[in-house]
Structure 1
Amino acid sequence: MPIYFEDLTVGETTEFGKYEVTQEEIVEFAERYDPQFFHVDPEKAEETMYGGLIASGWHTASMTMRMLVDGFLSDAASLGAKGVDELRWYRPVRPGDVLTLRNEVLEKEVESDERGLAHVQTTTLNQSGEAVFSMVGVVMFGRE
């Protein structure tokens, strides 16, 4: 059964996902989309304030989106999003990190007979439970 707008409860928080970050993926993504040296060159990255290779923030957002689709949106009557608010990167994501998500429904509003809009805060956590990324998705959901 899909998750409809009416199934969402303001204040509801869920945790899900598991994404293991590899050095190969960090470099591959960055070479294609964000080829700054601290994303693509492990030796040069050692000399930076990061002390080693880190994932592009856009890669972190992409890994988050993958977990969001796999763990939530694929089971929902999602109609896409109108945008993202409050996009933040808190800590670098490194090779070997294991990421999970925490989702909280912040608010809901009916837009029409066919859909509603939910503001959902998604926080990406590393294996130590530290927030590395967050965003508030403005997501459209079908109504029953």
Structure 2
Amino acid sequence: MLYLEDLSIGDRFISREYEMTLEEVKQFASQYDPQPFHLDEEAAAEHPIFQGLAASGWHTSAVTMRLWTECFPIAGGLLGSESSLRWPRPTRVGDKIHVEVEITAIVPSKTKTDRGIVSYVTQALNQHGDVLLISTTKIMVFRKPT
């Protein structure tokens, strides 16, 4: 597990790959984002933006979260305080997603000396190197116990 003093600006973490299956894309969409371009291949093919079945951006986000937790093992968990995210292109069935995280700032707390805030940029990329999700995030990270 990683603590505040284990991290440095510029540190990078890269996850394993995760393949998006047709069954999973449709199952997630039917439960959480039931729009035709996530559920129906014919409707999706005629959509002016997607032009084919696309996974929900929230599904891509959920997979990204899973991969974050595996490759970025922060002691006490990924305790988010702020995030901004974009989906520059759709995630497709068969995409093999991996996550790349780069630390951009580390700010020790002045009032709570057992912790600090770590900022990082995450990209979720497919097998072609296309960016499917990009986020900037701040998390609270604890110092090593004394």
> 1:99 aligned to 91, 97, 110, which one?
97
Identify the residue that residue 31 of structure 2 maps to in structure 1: 32
Q: 2:13 touches 2:71 (CA, 8 Å); kept in 1?
A: no
* Secondary structure, aligned partner of 1:105: strand
The match for 1:116 is 116
TM-align CA RMSD: 1.1
Inter-partner Cα distance in structure 1 for 2:10 and 2:76: 19
In the alignment, the residues of structure 1 paired with residue 135 and residue 120 of structure 2 have an alpha-carbon distance, to the nearest angstrom, of 8
C-alpha contact (below 8 Å) 2:114/2:143 kept by paired residues: yes
Q: Distance in 1 between matches of 2:21 and 2:43?
A: 18
For 1:55 and 1:45, the matched residues in 2 are separated by: 11
Q: 1:46 Cα shift?
A: 1.2
Summarize deviations over 1:20-45 as a string: whole Å, max 9, x none: 00111111111111111000111211
The alpha-carbon deviation at position 14 of structure 1 amounts to 2.4
Q: Alpha-carbon deviations, 1:89-116, whole Å to 9, x = none?
A: 1110000000001100010101222111
Equivalent positions of 1:128-139 (< 5 A) are: 128-139=128-139
- SS of corresponding position for 2:28: helix
Stretches of structure 1 that go unaligned for 5 or more consecutive residues are: none
Please give the TM-score of this superposition, normalised by the length of structure 2: 0.91
Q: SS of 2:91's equivalent? A: coil
- SS of the aligned residue for 1:17 comes to coil
The whole-number CA distance in structure 2 between the counterparts of 1:7 and 1:40 is 43
Query: How far apart in 1 are the matches of 2:116 and 2:22?
Result: 40
More strand by share: 1
What is the Cα deviation at residue 78 of structure 1? Answer: 3.9
Q: Deviations over 1:56-98 (max 9, x none)?
A: 11111111001001222xx32145111213x111110000000
1:9-88, aligned counterparts within 5 Å?
Answer: 9-49=8-48, 50-72=50-72, 75-79=73-77, 80-85=79-84, 87-88=85-86
* TM-score calculated relative to the size of structure 1: 0.92
Deviation at 1:47, TM superposition (A): 1.2
Structure 1 residue ranges (4+ consecutive) displaced by more than 4 angstroms after TM superposition = none
Number of residue equivalences: 140
**Percentage of matched positions with identical amino acids:** 38
